[in-house]
Amino acid sequence: MQNLTENVLSESMIKSAIMDMMNNNKDLFKEIISSAIQDIGMVATMKDTPASEMNGKSPLRYRR
């Protein structure tokens, strides 16, 4: 039960921090979100790429 409480608190605090960031520093927030979306896209693309083409690079660091 304690873990459930901690998870809810953490989620609530994270949501609050995100809302604060959105309101107080919109440019930074846009940059973080756009970078995260780009990374997610890279991972999705890399799942279809054979390991031999990855050259040992991590999907998150593998840029065009």
Whether residue 34 contacts residue 13, with contact meaning beta carbons closer than 8 Å, is answered with: no
Q: Give the predicted TM-score (pTM) of the model.
A: 0.36
Which pair of tokens denotes residue 56? 């040992």
Which pair of tokens denotes residue 18? 């995100």
pLDDT tens, position by position, 48-58:
666 666 666 66
In a domain, residue 38? The reply is yes
User: Which pLDDT belongs to residue 55?
Assistant: 66
pLDDT of 63 strictly over 80: no
Give the range of the structural domain holding residue 41, as residue numbers without chain letter: 25-64
In a domain, residue 15? The reply is no
Least confident of 3-7, 19-23, 25-29: 3-7
Cα separation, 58 vs 55, whole angstroms: 9
Q: How many domains does the chain have?
A: 1
